[in-house]
Each structure stands twice: as structure tokens, then as C-alpha cells.
Amino acid sequence: MKISKDLWCIIISAVAFGLSFILQDISSVLLIIAYIIVSYEIFIKVIKNFGKGIIFDENFLMMIATIGAFIIGEWHEAVAVMLFYQIGEYMNDLGVEKSKKAIKDLVDVRCEVAIKLENNQEKVVNPSSLSVKDIIIVKPGDRIPVDGVVLEGNSNVDTSSITGEAVPRKVEKMSEVYSGYINLDGILKVEVTKEFKDSLVSRILKVIEESEIDKSNTEKFITKFAKIYTPLVVISALLLFIIPTLLLGGNINTWFYRSLIFLVASCPCALVLSIPLGYFCGIGASSRHGILVKSSNGLEKLSKMNLFAFDKTGTLTKGSFAIKSITPNKIRKNELLEITAHCEYYSNHPIAMSIKNAYKGKLDPKNISDFKERNGGIKVKYKKDQIILGNYQFLSNNHIEVPKIIEDGTVIYVAKNYNYIGNIIIGDVIKDEAVEVINNLKEMNINNLAILSGDNIETVSIVAKKLGINQYYSDLKPLDKKNCIDKLKTNHKVCFIGDGINDAVVLLGADLGISMGHVGSDAAIEASDIVIMNDNLWNILKALKISNYTNKIVLENIVFALLVKLIVLSLGVVGISTIIMAVFADIGVTVITVLNSLRIMCKKV
């Protein structure tokens, strides 16, 4: 194992410090050597900070405290303070690096090489050199280097590094694939759709790297607090020395020593280091589950939301048309589907496509004639029969009596020779996990739930009733949704969950925006605070639990650090605390809070 320069300094200083107790004749020399080795970087930092106008920080406090200890003859304690301080800093750096590495390991899945197809020859290139429209070959076991679309081949791909999903996803011709996916079996020929710098993994890494810019309110407070707190500590330490000695006639050495204890114990290292680390660990824990948190501010705010508003299509529902029910009238179900599928043969409408996809038999256009598509329906001859199908109004206009059905979806009424023979309901299906997720949110005391949708009132009300959501709004355009969110924000902290493409304005307007949806959507990453990469509603609950746990750990660190410091400071004023206890109040507490923050990375949700 390679030993770093900092660790070498600590080891040499610790050896010299230990020998000073044995070799009494050269004890002073050994202590000075130990002190210089372990503290020279602190002095350099203080001098550089002076040049920047930064005077009162933890480095300055440690320097003043240890010089003071030398002045009053407490040489061993002076070296011990600086040595333990550097040990604590080293352990903290190890913890921070471990956390950063864990996060990078979770998302840093960039590919080092790509196989480019040039003149039917395979050429190994750097992915950063690829351009849009280039053709690449992805072999089994290789990681896909850039975003693209499959031109040839079938395979299963492992998307877990991006979405957190363990189940492989099948891809075929015209399937979109993204950087970071691993090709598991077949050979794929892929056309590049985005350059390396714009590919999904590169954008995710950029978000992670920039996540420290938008600090949480707690971090902002602690940063401001430290700037005011440190000078107050120095002034208080001076007063603790001046008042008892000059005004009350106290012993100079005694009160000088107590003021040094006050300085060391008051260092805000634990708060300044452990709080940002806590949120950083929360972001890392989230990414493990396919949850991209853009900033510590977003992670902190999530736990404070008391109203969750959902877009309907693509968020609570699957966002794709499918047959929900087939209800025949004096005819077999399969026969009704066969007739309807043939009659929709020439239509490219999404509803028509869903009916044709559901019919497993062979469509024979020879049986279709006189095809006429009108607004609201179709007239066509199938074999020798006149078939009319469409919405309620269309069949009524053709003098066909049909039952009016109120259902979540589009009702296709079918008539044969002007006699009603049944209906097929096409709709967007509610996601399998939606009901349970909504119930779990209620169990977590989040009872303010709403649906904001552009669909009609009948459709939205049925979905809301099935999910147990009492508050819902329909027929909303994107700006209408934004206005609705603004009204909800007057009495609540609103988290909006949408698909990240059509709802970009709403995501930006809410107190917190969560994107459910397409992993390749630029709008999702740009507009929202949190992106659920695998489109699974369960991850909203996971993100919420991680947010709650992270804020709990951060609060524990704040309370613990302040409580220990308060006790040691109080005991120091009355002469009970020693400078070693003060070191524990600073460095010991820092190490404990840092380790406590690292627990977030191990949290199971």
C-alpha cells in the first residue's frame, strides 16, 4: 500500500512525540521536530489565508492554541493537539474520498473505447471522437459508449448502472440505447444520436459534479455561522483570559491555559465537514437506486414537502394505449376484435394501432372495401357487411342506438349492418405499483395528494378514484398546471412529479420537481431537482426515505457536536477540562460525525 505524504508526516511526528517521553535529555528537540513536521502546513495555510483576508478559521485557532501551550511550558500538550488534529483531518479526508469514490463508482460508467464502422472495417476509437450519424458495433459484454439507436441486431442490455433495474431490457431494431448500458448477448449495430459529451452518462456525471454548487439551507447556514462564530470564539477566549487576570487578579498561566482549551474546543470543524458530507452521501445512496439528485438542496427539501401533485399520463399511468376491455353484444369476443381490427387496417391513429396489435390473427385487406374515415369514426365494408365504428356521437349521427358508457379511456362503439354489436375500450393503464405507492405515502403522513392532468374530467376522476386521491384537476394545459401549482403553493410545500418533457414549466414552478420518465430526456435533467431514472414510482418513496434519513443524520451531527463542545467549554471555564478533552471536542467529534454521515451510504430503503 502506498503511503501518502500526509500519513508519513503523522507517522514521523508520532514517533518523535513518543520518543520524547523516553529520551528525556533530548525531549525538547524531539518535541520541536515533531511539532514542525506535523504543523508546518497549518502555518502555510494561515499565512496564505491572511493574504486572502481570511483570518479566523480552524487553522488559525489551532496555531494560536499550540503556540500558547508552548509559551506556558505545556510542550507535550502543544504537540499532542497538533498531532491529533492532523490525524483527525487525515481520517476525515479518507472518509470524504471514500464517499466520493462510492458515488463515482455508481455513475462513472463511461466507456474507454468504441468500435467504429468505417468502410465496413472495424476501427477502435476514443468515444469522444464519435459524431452524430457514425455507426458503431457493440459486442456482447461491451458497454455502450454513447447514446444511439439500434440499426441491426437483437440483444438484452443491462441498464442497472443507470436505472438501478436488475432485470435486463430487450432491444431490437429502432430501439434507443444509452451510454452506460451493457450489451449482454447479441451483436448490435448502433447509429450515434448524441456526441460523447452530450450522452446520458456524461450529463449525469456533470450533474453529480455540480451537485455541491446548490447547497442545502442547512449548509448555507453553517457556512455563514462559521464566519461569524470563529471571530466570536477568539474574542471570547481573549476575554476569558483578560477579565480574570487583569480585572480579578487571577493566575495568568491558569487562565491562559483555560483560554487555550476554549479555542481548541470551539473549532467548528465537525459542523463544517460533516454536514456537506452527509448530503453528499445522501446523493450517493440515491444514485444507487437509479435516483439522480441534482443538489443537496433538493435532497433536503424533499423531506419538507407536504403536498405531492402528480401528472397523470406517463407518471401514474403507463403512457401507452392498450385495450382495457372488450364487451360483445350478441357476438363472440374474438369475432368483435377481428372485425374491429380489420376495419382499422388503413388507420394509423394510436388507438387503431393498439387494436391491430391486440389482434393476433392475420389481417386480410382483401376483405375490406369502401373504407371511409371521418371525424369521430370509420365506415367500411368488411366482407359483405357494413361496419360502422367510432365514438358515441358518430354512431348516434348514423342513427344507431348504443348505450352511453362512462369509463376511463376511449370507448369504440361497433355496429354491424346498423345493429350495435359491442364496444372496445382503449385507455392508458394505471401503473402496477401506483395504488401501493399512494397508500405508502399516506402511511408516511403525506395525505395531501393531487392529480394535475390535461385529460377530461371523466377520465381524471376515474383514475383519482382508483388511486384514492381526492384532489384532482383536469383539462389543464402546461401553463394552467403552472397556475394551479402556484395556487397550491400558497398553503403547502408542493412537490410535482411529472414526465419531464411536457411538464418542464410545472417542474420548475413547484417547490420541488421530480421527473418520472425517459432516461434520455434532456428536459427531465434540466427542469427537475430529482430524476427517477427507471420510471418506477417506488423510487419516489425511496428518495423520500433517503431524504428523511439524511436530514435525521445531519441533525444528529449538529446536536452532538454542539452538545459536546458546550460541555467541554463549560468544564474548561471552571478548570475541569484539559486540552486533550478539548482536542476530543474538536477532532474526536469531527471523526464521529463524519463516520455517522457515512452511514447514509449503507442505508437500505
Give catalytic residues, as residue numbers. Answer: 311
d(CA 310, CA 305): 13
- Strands of the sheet containing 121-125, edge to edge, are 121-125, 114-118, 135-138, 188-192, 148-152, 176-177
The span from the CA of 3 to the CA of 174, in Å, is 52
Q: How far apart are CA 436 and CA 537, in angstroms?
A: 10
Residues 365, 210: Cα–Cα separation, whole Å: 57
Alpha helices in 52-138 (DSSP H): 58-71, 75-107
- Helix pair 217-242, 269-288: axis angle to 10 deg: 160
Torsion of CA 186, 188, 194, 199, to 10 degrees: 20
Q: CA 282 to CA 279: how far, in whole Å?
A: 5
C-alpha distance from residue 441 to each of 152, 162, 603 (Å):
43, 25, 19
Please state the separation of Cα 353 from the chain's center in Å.
Answer: 36
DSSP 403-445: -----SSEEEEEEETTEEEEEEEEEEEEPTTHHHHHHHHHHTT
78 phi/psi in degrees, rounded to 5? -60, -45
Q: What are phi and psi of 210, to 5 degrees?
A: -90, 0
Q: For residue 591, give the H/E element and its range.
A: helix 589-598
Residue found under cell 376495419: 343
Contact 111, 179 (CB under 8 A): yes
* DSSP string for 313-348: IIIIEEEEEEEEEEEESSS-HHHHHHHHHHHTTT--
544 Cβ contact list (under 8 Å, min separation 6): 302, 303, 441, 444
Query: Would you state the cell numbers that stand for residue 229, as one nine-digit string?
Result: 462564530
Residue with grid cell 487576570, as numbered in its chain: 245
